[in-house]
Structure 1
Amino acid sequence: MSKRTLIRGGHVVTMDPALGVLETGDVLISGDTIEAVGTNLEAADAEVVDATERLVIPGMVDTHRHTWQTQMRALCADMSISGYMNTLRMAISPNYTAEDVYLGNLVGALEAIDAGVTTVLDFSHCNNSPGHADGAIGGLLDSGIRAVFAYGFFDSDPPVKGFASHPDRVSDYKRLVEKHSGQSRIRLGVSVNELGFVPFSQTEAEIAAARDTGGIIAFHTACFFGTPLSNGIKDLHQAGLLGPDQVHIHCVALDDLEWRYLGEAGAKVSIAAETEMNMGMGWPQMENCRRHDIKPTLSCDIISLNSGSLVPQMRLALAAERHARNEPINKSGAMPESLQTSVMDVLEWVTVNGAEACGLGEVTGSLTVGKKADVVIVGNSDTFTGQPAINPVGSLIFQSTPQDILDVFIDGRHVKKDGKLVGVDLPELFARSNASADEVLRKVHKEFPVLPPPVGGSKFEEREKQAKGNITA
């Protein structure tokens, strides 16, 4: 008989329209599945978790995280997006070993879990060899997180070539799909090379590989101003390649026609507000999502800049959206009487919307009977957050930290309990991760004593020139 767990007496925000919010409610877990949601549930054989005066929500979903970068924590704190590209993508990525990728994904996924993120779309573009891809998936599996592993085809030009050709990379993706087809927590998809980095025929091959295997397709889209690089939505539209199985990330430099193409195709959008506003990329695009009937999702993006928690992304994205809506009123000489975007709207971005974008809408994203038991309990009695519990969702978004994430369940497994990750030796992992970071940076500094590398003749600038020939529309 499956183990049963009864989460009792919490403020249950189900994100299921049929169930709504239970001021005092229970969630019953049986095995890996939500068995019941309601009030005064009885289950004599269940382990009881007391959620009195605590918030109970679905596990949060991050729709774009380069998890391998975890060891490079805050390295890019003072870098622009071009500095990031020249540093992480062109200098550091080639020097990562398969073990470095494994550690980055393991520690990064555990950091996500600690912050209440139960599902991540791992935009994995450090696959320097088949072993690197195996290491990345191994880290996700060992962490216990739910994930879409979006296999990246990017060639960072490592010292030792792991692939002889682009078709070899496509074959490696298909190898992994076959190898992990029986995994319940890990699904395979692709992260497409930035449009323009490679000939369009290779872009078509990457999209075809995903669709042949039923995988989600992730793009870095329109991330830069003044260059065609990553800005090929018109090419995709003309080729009939846009679709609802795609997550387009950032989208800061799209024009209105390109936004219309995304909306008409049913594509999804992932916004990383901290990255976009801090790295000189532009304004987070919630307003254009709204105008074109696209459900926004949020992402932590890079731990080389941001934290592993979605809460700062929610906070900043909500501020940006409210500012965009209120600024015209302010400029007219008036003040808004009310706010048009609520904290519940933002919670939807990181639960229901995120799950749908990852192709997991029937699996997770809401506390619905029959879905997988991905559940988060918020409210640490040893912190100020939520005391008193007047607006629990507001406290989560505006005031909480990972310390306030008390319990996390993924697939019914209690992976964070009473504020501590279960079965994880953090000091040992930190020692390994720190040693990995030291060795990577030692190798990088041999070629690049200063990071980011000086502007002029960089690998990124070479790719940018190539983009002008690879994007035509």
Structure 2
Amino acid sequence: MRLRAEETVLTSGNVPFFHTSMGDAVESLLLRDGLVIDTEPAPIVHHNCDVLIEDGRIAAVGPNLPAPAGTTVLDASHNIVLPGFVDTHRHVWQAVLRSIAVDMDLPEYFALVRQHLGPRFRPEDVRAANTLGALECLDGGVTTVQDFAYARADRITPDGYVAGESDYDYAEAAFDGLRTAGVRAVFGYLLTPQDTAAVRRAHALFTADSPLLTMVAASLGPSNQHAESILADWRLADELGLSLVTHIGSGPVNERPIELLREHDLLRPDILYVHGNDLSDDELKMIGDSGAAVSVTPAVEARLGHGGPLIGRLRTAGAKTALGVDVVTTVGGDMFSVMRAALLSTYLVPGPHVTPGDILRMATLDGAVALGLADQVGSLKVGKQADVVMLRADDVNLACAHDPIGAVVTAAHPGNVDTVLVAGKVVKQNGKLVGHDLADVRTKALRAAEYVTATSVSTA
């Protein structure tokens, strides 16, 4: 990224900058002559294109845009400029358990992480983990993440909630970690209808004072709960005016969970289902017909054995499809590797042809649609929030790319991410996260990791 001497140019020696304090934003910023990839209505490449950002929003996209007075102008001629990635499913609290379950299947993962380590988390451990995990998102160009926050999911059973320490303390800690990092996040609070006071207190955290953070109702859902508990979750979500997110699959409690929802008139468009690899085609069609979306986490689904590739089946069923990382206990935490896993896995089974452009859209605009944020993020459409990622196009692994969209999906990695903006605010610049004492973040995360794993993993 290079600054040009047009209008207001801010420099510090030979190192370009345009505001490095978290919470600060350039009132007017012009990205000049970039290789711009937009995703709405479909991914398209614009060479020698400018992006004007004003007051945290996309103000204009096109060639040779005039720079308003006082505008900071960046030379983006050696950069790929695209909307920030939208990760529609991640357990951010597991950042301090990175790579602890890389050689496990799903039952082994559940036994270790959910039953053994999850209950050991204290609120301060969740806070440290969420800060680290959210910064990992930003470092790799993920500007929006759906955080399915359930470190203490061991206290939710098929029949309801097991009383104990208030869940609010965990929710507040997770909220603080996300807010500290500066990521845009959709926080999935795991519902406890038997403790509505905690749910309502958590809901109250999400106010205009934290515009980047919103809340959805997370539920163990119809695969894992009996009908009475599912109905209680849906009723509470309705009371709070929240959409829903839930894992889905055949069993262990209900083998046909989508049909169960249909029987109780609980199918609706504002549900985000996660996984579903082993659902029947007719149940996937029910999801598509309801207008709901599915978050596919192809790397985790392949490694943990959720079932065969899902994207082609979802497209056949007419279901909205988005992408997610899921758990860094088992796979990498960046959307580049997720996009590659998604693209490659689609060729393993029969189904409609899926292009790199389709995958990039799933990682951006379709993700925003799935989270109910399509009017805010997911593309560079004028008026949307300026969540923008700039990749160094002249890095050796991206140089000479004939198909820029294909290169982003198949060749790029987090090390290529030079600059990241969230709502026009700089969170990464010159390849480095800004505004944080990263040594302190790592120290606190390491302490949390050491505490929750103090009991030998071999005893799990």
Q: SS of the counterpart of 2:110?
A: helix
Name the CA distance, whole Å, in 2 between partners of 1:61 and 1:171: 31
Give 2:50's match in structure 1, choosing from 20, 26, 29: 26
Q: 1:377 touches 1:407 (CA, 8 Å); kept in 2?
A: yes
Name the CA distance, whole Å, in 2 between partners of 1:352 and 1:6: 22
Map of 2:309 onto structure 1: 284
TM (norm. structure 2) is 0.87
Q: 1:379 touches 1:385 (CA, 8 Å); kept in 2?
A: no
Give the strand-richer structure, 1 or 2.
2
Unmatched runs of 5 consecutive residues or more in structure 1: 154-164, 327-338, 454-473
Give 1:38's match in structure 2, choosing from 55, 62, 72: 62
Name the CA distance, whole Å, in 2 between partners of 1:78 and 1:71: 17
> How is 1:324-363 mapped onto 2 (pairs within 5 angstroms)?
324-325=349-350, 340-363=353-376
Map of 1:471 onto structure 2: none
- Shift in Å at residue 441 of structure 1? 0.7
Q: SS of the counterpart of 1:16?
A: coil
> Is 1:215 matched up with 2:236?
no
Map of 1:181 onto structure 2: 207
Q: SS of the counterpart of 1:378?
A: strand
With over 3 angstroms needed to count, the CA separation of the structure-2 counterparts of 1:340 and 1:179, relative to structure 1, is closer
Deviates more, 1:111-120 or 1:390-399: 390-399
Map of 1:56 onto structure 2: 81
- Shift in Å at residue 16 of structure 1? 2.1
Q: 1:150 touches 1:218 (CA, 8 Å); kept in 2?
A: yes
Name the CA distance, whole Å, in 2 between partners of 1:221 and 1:244: 15
- Shift in Å at residue 180 of structure 1? 1.7
- Shift in Å at residue 11 of structure 1? 1.0
With over 3 angstroms needed to count, the CA separation of the structure-2 counterparts of 1:230 and 1:302, relative to structure 1, is farther
Give 2:397's match in structure 1, choosing from 369, 385, 388: 385
**Identity over aligned pairs, percent:** 32
Name the CA distance, whole Å, in 2 between partners of 1:45 and 1:347: 34
Name the CA distance, whole Å, in 2 between partners of 1:431 and 1:14: 38
Map of 2:428 onto structure 1: 416
> How is 1:67-82 mapped onto 2 (pairs within 5 angstroms)?
67-82=92-107
Deviation sequence 1:102-159 (CA, Å, 0-9, x none): 1111100100000000000101112562111100011111111001101013xxxxxx
Unmatched runs of 5 consecutive residues or more in structure 2: 1-24, 153-164
Q: 1:223 touches 1:250 (CA, 8 Å); kept in 2?
A: no
> How is 1:145-164 mapped onto 2 (pairs within 5 angstroms)?
145-153=183-191
> How is 1:38-437 mapped onto 2 (pairs within 5 angstroms)?
38-43=62-67, 44-127=69-152, 129-153=167-191, 166-168=193-195, 170-182=196-208, 183-195=210-222, 197-222=224-249, 227-228=252-253, 231-325=256-350, 340-379=353-392, 381=394, 383-437=395-449
- Shift in Å at residue 399 of structure 1? 1.4
Q: 2:224 touches 2:253 (CA, 8 Å); kept in 1?
A: no
Name the CA distance, whole Å, in 2 between partners of 1:362 and 1:26: 21
- Shift in Å at residue 296 of structure 1? 1.3
With over 3 angstroms needed to count, the CA separation of the structure-2 counterparts of 1:389 and 1:50, relative to structure 1, is farther
Name the CA distance, whole Å, in 1 between partners of 2:113 and 2:376: 33
- Shift in Å at residue 229 of structure 1? 5.3
- Shift in Å at residue 5 of structure 1? 0.8
Q: What RMSD in Å do the two structures reach over aligned CA positions?
A: 2.0
Q: SS of the counterpart of 2:458?
A: coil
For 2:360, give the aligned amino acid: L
Map of 1:450 onto structure 2: 458
With over 3 angstroms needed to count, the CA separation of the structure-2 counterparts of 1:223 and 1:424, relative to structure 1, is farther
Q: 2:285 touches 2:319 (CA, 8 Å); kept in 1?
A: no
- Shift in Å at residue 411 of structure 1? 0.7
Aligned residues: 421
Name the CA distance, whole Å, in 2 between partners of 1:77 and 1:230: 28
Deviates more, 1:187-196 or 1:286-295: 187-196
Q: SS of the counterpart of 1:450?
A: helix
TM (norm. structure 1) is 0.85
- Shift in Å at residue 284 of structure 1? 2.3
